[in-house]
Amino acid sequence: MTPIPEKHKVFHEHLSTIANKEARIDAINEYAWSLRYSDSKYSFTLAEEASELAHEVFYKKGLAESLRTIGQCFLVISNYTDALKVSLEAREIFQELGDLKGEADTLNTLGGIYNFLGEYEQRLQCNLQCLELRKQAGNEGGVIGTLSNIGDTYIALKDYDNALNYFEQCLAFENINDSNKSIVTHNIGEVWFAQNDWDRAKTYFEASIPLARAANYQSLETVTSNYLAQINTREKNYEAAFKYLDRALEIVKETGDKDGMYHIYKNYADIYEAKGELSKAYDYYKRFHEMKEEVYNDESRRRLKNIQFQYKVKAFQKETEAEKKKNAQLKHAFDKIEHQKNEIAQQNRSITDSIRYAQRIQEAILPPEKMLHDTLKDFFIYYQPKDIVSGDFYWAVRQENKIIFAVADCTGHGVPGALVSIVGNNGLNRVINEFAETRPAAILNQLAGLLQHTFKGEASEVKDGMDMAVCSLDLTTNQLEYAGANNPIYIVAANDTAMSPSAIFYDKEAAHSLYEIKPTKQPIDLFTNNEFKPFTNHTVQLQQGDTIYLFSDGYADQFGGPRGKKFKYKALKEMLLKNHNHPMNKQGELLEQTLEAWKGEFEQVDDICVMGVKV
C-alpha cells in the first residue's frame, strides 16, 4: 500500500469516519478536485480510487466527478489525449444527470485541450457554453474563471481589446479569490507581453506570482516564471532570469508537467545563447526539441482527432443500421485520410528537421552577440528571416583601428538564399584574412572575383547573386568609407553637419538631416556575361553621434497597411529620421513594432535585415 503523504493524513483520518460508500466517494472527489493544481499527482491517485469505488456501487455522479478530476489532472501534466477522452466521457454523464456545474467544469477542460490544438474558435465556443452553464448554476467563482479563459482565448486570437475587457470584468468581482486573481493578473501581463510592452507585462507577472503561491497554483507559477525569464533575458538580467527558471523547473519536476518543461528548456537555451555560452545553449536546445517532440508529436495529435471522431460516432449509436453502416464507412475514410496525412506529416517533419539543422549552421556563421558588442559598441540589428533560414545576412569584423561591417541580400530566400549567404559570408572572411583589404570597394571587387571563380560554369546553370552594402569606419578619425552593390546606406547627422558631395540630402526635421549614399548599380553576380565594372568607394567624414543605417530591401518591400501596399523607402527614411535620437536598441524595437503593425495579416514577403551603428 502506498504511504499517505504527511500533508494529507488529516483528510484520510476524516475519511475513515465515513461509512456510507456514496458519501465516501463524494468526499474523495471533493478533496481530489481541490488538489488538481497544487498536487496533481495525488489528486489523480484519489480520483482513480473514487472512480473504482463508483463503478462498484454504480454511482454515476461519483463516477462523473472522478472522471472530471482525472481529465483536469491529465491536462495539467500535458497528457492531452487522455484528458480529451475522459473529459468527453465525464461530460456525457453530467448531461444525463442534468448537472450544470459538472458539465461546465468538463467544458473548461475541453477548452484547454482545444487551446493546445490551436483551435481557438472552438475553444471560444467551449468557453461561452461554460459561462452560460455557470451563470445558470449560480457559480460565481466559476463565472470569474470562465471570463478569464475567454479573455485568454481573445489573446490567442490577437483581439487584445476584448481580452482586457473580459479581464476587467473578472477583477470587478468583490469576492474574487487568490487563484482567479492570480491567473487574471497573469493574463493581463500576457496582453502587454504580446504587444511588446515589457515594462507593463513585467509589472503584472510579478504581481501574479505571490497570488499563485498563496493559492498553491503551481502550474500558473511555472508559466509566469517562464515569461519573467524571457523579459529578464531581453533586459540582460541573466541572474534574475535563471532564478525564475530554476524555480519553474523545480515545480515541473515535481508535477511531471512536460509542456512546462520544454518551455523552460527553451528559455535556458536562449539565456545561454545570449551570454555567448553556445555549448550549454546547444545542450538545452537539444533537450527542448526532444521534449517538444514528446508532447507535440503528430501521433498524439492524430489520437486526439481520432478520439473526437469516435465520440461523435458514439452519439449516433441509436440511429438506424443504415446510418451505422454509413458512419462505419465514414470512419474508414477518416482513418485512410489520417494515415495519408501522417505519411505526409512524417515527410514534412524530416524535411523541416533538416532545415532546422541548416538554421543552426547559418546562425553559427553570423557574428556572435559578444563580438558585435565588442566591435560595434552602440548598434542594433533587426533580423527577421521569411522562412526558417535566410538569404539575408549581416557581418562585422575589426581590423586594428577600423571596424568593417556589412548587410547582404542574396537572391531568393529560404534554402537557396541561405546557401548563397553562407558562400558570401565565407567569401568576406577570405577577403579580409587572405588579402587584408579594408577599403569597401576593394572588398567588393575581390569578393566578386572569388564568387565567380567558385561558381564557374555556364550562365544558365547559376544565375544567383547578392546585393550588399559594406562600410569601414576608422575609430580614430571617424572617417567612414562605403561601397555598395545595389544597396545604398543612410546616414543621420547628429548636428546637421553638411557631408561630402557624394551624400545626397533627403529631408530636414528639427535641424537634423538624413543623407543617402548611393551604390554602384550592379549586383555581385555568381556568374555573369555582363561586363564587370569596379565598385565605387565613397568617403564621408562623420562626427560623434552620427548614425549609419544598412539594410536589405525586405523592409521597404513588405506589403501591408489599409490598402495592402508596400512600405517603401520614403516611409523607412522618415521613420529612421524621426527615431534617430532614441537609444539604438529602442530604434530596433520600433522598427520591428512598426513593421508588424504595417504587415497585419499579410504574409512576410522577403527576408529582412536592418543594421544601425552609432559613431
pLDDT 10s digits, 513-547? 889 999 998 888 765 556 778 999 999 999 888 99
Q: Would you place residue 316 in the very low, low, confident or very high pLDDT band (cuts 50, 70, 90)?
A: very low
pLDDT at 54 over 50: yes
Orientation of helix 100-117 relative to helix 298-314, angle to 10°: 140
pLDDT at 330 over 70: no
* Burial bucket for residue 521 (CB in 10 Å: 0-12, 13-18, 19+): exposed
| pLDDT tens digits for range 137-175 | 888 888 988 998 899 899 889 899 999 999 999 989 888
- Beta bridge partners, 468, equal 408, 486
Query: What pLDDT, on a 0 to 100 scale, did the predictor assign at position 204?
Result: 94
pLDDT at 341 over 90: no
Query: What pLDDT, on a 0 to 100 scale, did the predictor assign at position 419?
Result: 73
pLDDT at 507 over 70: no
Query: What pLDDT, on a 0 to 100 scale, did the predictor assign at position 279?
Result: 82
Nearest to 379 by CA among 394, 392, 364: 394
Yes or no: say if 454 and 420 are a contact pair by the CB < 8 Å rule.
Answer: no
Q: Would you place residue 550 in the very low, low, confident or very high pLDDT band (cuts 50, 70, 90)?
A: very high
Yes or no: say if 383 and 394 are a contact pair by the CB < 8 Å rule.
Answer: yes
| pLDDT tens digits for range 59-111 | 999 999 999 999 988 887 778 788 888 888 999 999 999 999 999 999 988 98
Who contacts 566 (Cβ-Cβ below 8 Å, separation ≥6)? 556, 557, 558, 559
| pLDDT tens digits for range 183-203 | 899 999 999 999 999 999 999
Answering whether pTM is above 0.95, one says: no
| pLDDT tens digits for range 346-368 | 666 655 555 565 566 666 667 88
Query: What pLDDT, on a 0 to 100 scale, did the predictor assign at position 319?
Result: 45
